[in-house]
Amino acid sequence: MKTRIKQIIKYEKNVKSFVEGTFDSKRVLQDIFQLKSIKENKLPLKNMLLGVKDIINVDGHPTKCGSNLPEKLFEGKQASCVSRLLKAGAILTGKTVTAEFAISDPGETRNPRNLEHSPGGSSSGSAATVAAGFCDIAIGTQTSGSVIRPAGYCGVVGYKPSFGRIDIDGVIPFSKSMDHIGLFTKDLETLELVTPVIVKHWNTQKINSNKNLVLGIPDGDYLNLAKKDVLNQFVESTQKLENQFLFKRIKLVQNISKINHDLDQIILAELYRVHSKWYNEFRELYKPLSRKNIEIGKTISDKNLEVLLKKAKNFQFKIQELFKDHNIDVWIAPVAPNLAPKGLQSTGDYSMNSIWSYTGLPVITIPTGVNNKNLPYSIQIVGEFGKDEDLLFISKCIEKIIGERNLLNQWDL
C-alpha cells in the first residue's frame, strides 16, 4: 500500500484528480492501520482506496463543488453512499475534482491516458483517479452523461444505476428528476464487490442464463451521432460477439436531438430552482457556463417543466416496451460520438449518454481498445430498468470477449 501512496504523491501533480488539500498520505495510512486487525470477511471492501466527487458531503471535509461560493452553503450530513462504503472497509483517499456544481465549467484534471486531453466530466476527478490507479473505487454523479462519458474517455469501468437504486442524500443537487449517483471502478470484479454494499436491494444470487442473449443495436438517428473511427471500432468489437450473442438492429428514436433538448430543459429548469437563492446573492462568483445555464433555467416556467416531465415519463414507458417487444436483454453502443477532446476547455459530447439518464436505465461502460494517441475506445451497455444485476452479468460476458484489460498499465503520467 505504501507503494501506491508514493505513486499518488509522485503523479497526482500531473493528473490533478483530487481537490487540493483533501489527499493526506498520513491519514490514509493511519486509516488502513486501524482496519488491520479486522478480518476481510467482515469488510468486503477492506483497504480499497476511495475517491468521492466534491459535490458529495463527507464528514471532516468541506464540500466546495468546484466553486468559489462560500463552503458553508453546502454543509450537511455525510452521504449515506459514502457511509456504506467506509463501513465496508473502503479508505477515503480524497475528494475528487468536479466541474462547477457538476455543470460544465471544468476543473484542472487531466486524462491519465493522455495528459493533453480531457478526462470528461463532470465527474472528472473520479474517472481520472481510477484510471491513474490512485483509487480502486470512486463515486461520481450523472445528470446527463457525467459518469458514463468520463469512464469511457479514461478507459475504466463506469456504472450508472437505474434511477433511484443508489440514494442521493448528501449530494448537492443538479436536477432532482435526473440525478444519479454512479461508480467508477478499476474492473468489473471490483464493481461486483461494491454493488451489494451501495445499491439498494442488490440480489447477490448468481444469474444462470442458458438462453441466447439478445443485444440491441440502436440504429438510425442515435447511432449516426458516432464519428467514423468510433463507429468503425464499435463495429469491429461487435463482430467479435456474433458467435455468442444474437443481434437486433432497431431504431431507438426518431429524433435524438429532440430528446437531448428536452432533457436539457428539464435539468436546467431544476438547476435554477436549486440555485436561485444562492445565485441572487453570489451571481458574480459563479463561473461563466454555470451562469449561462442557470439563466436558461430561469426562463423555463413551472408549467413547461411539468409538461417536459410528463413527456419524459411517457418516453420511459416507450423504451421499456422496446425491450419487451423485441426481447432485448441489453442495448450496446459507443460511449460518445468521439474520443476524449484535446485540451481542458470542454468535458466532451454527452449526446449519446443523455437518453439513458432521461429514461433512468442502468448503464455499464467497459473499455475496448485505444487509438494511436492512447485514447480509449469504450462501449456502453444499457440494461432494463431495475435489472442492474442482469446488466452486470451480461457485461461480464461481453467483457470477456472484447474488454481491454491492459489499459490500467497504459498511463501518460
Residues annotated as catalytic are 53, 122, 146
How many angstroms separate the CA atoms of 397 and 332, rounded?
A: 13
Q: What are phi and psi of 111, to 5 degrees?
A: -80, 120
Q: What are phi and psi of 143, to 5 degrees?
A: -115, -40
How many angstroms separate the CA atoms of 380 and 47, rounded?
A: 29
What angle (nearest 5°) sits at the alpha carbon of residue 339, between those of residues 363 and 49? 55
Nearby residues of 106 by Cβ (< 8 Å), 6 or more positions away: 99, 118, 121, 122, 124, 344, 345, 346, 347
Amino acid at 401: I
The one-character DSSP state at 211 is S
Cell 468541506 belongs to: 62
Exposure class string for 297-317: b at 16+ Cβ within 10 A, else e: bbebeeeebeebbebbeebbe
Q: What are phi and psi of 259, to 5 degrees?
A: -60, -45
Q: Are 74 and 162 in contact (CB under 8 A)?
A: no
Cell 463507429 belongs to: 231
